[in-house]
Amino acid sequence: MEKPKNRVANWTRLHRRFGDHVRKLRNSRELTQENLAERSDLSVDAIRRIERGSFSPSLDTLGKLSVGLDVSLKTLFQGFERERTDAVAEICDFLAHRSGREVQRAWRVIQALFEEH
């Protein structure tokens, strides 16, 4: 059985890893902590604490964070589990908020990028 001290250390590492993951997502979108806080309807202090790993966000907070980062909760956690961003899932999240016409346009662009001449 795992000792209580080891469980605390594991949770601390988990919080730090998640914070690092959120920071990477934020930076990849060229957002400041202030921008993300505004987009997420969270305080800047909450964003800082999440990124430092000193705060365990509630489900409500995670939902707001996913809105601010413009990813689904599924993508937020998939990327965290893999310790990298799942670019395909992020593209799907991005396209999910677009009109059918915009999705068709994006599909044509993607196909054109990979056409063999």
pTM, 2 dp: 0.64
Contact between 10 and 73 (Cβ < 8 Å)? no
Task: End-to-end CA distance of the chain: give it in Å, rounded.
Answer: 61
Helices 87-96 & 100-114, crossing angle to 10 degrees? 150
**Predicted confidence (pLDDT) per residue in 55-91, tens digit:** 889 999 999 999 999 998 888 887 666 544 567 777 8
43-59 pLDDT, tens per residue? 999 999 999 999 889 99
CA-CA distance, 101 to 29, in Å (whole number)? 24
Measure the CA angle with vertex 65, ends 83 and 29; round to 5°: 65
CA distance 82 to 25: 13
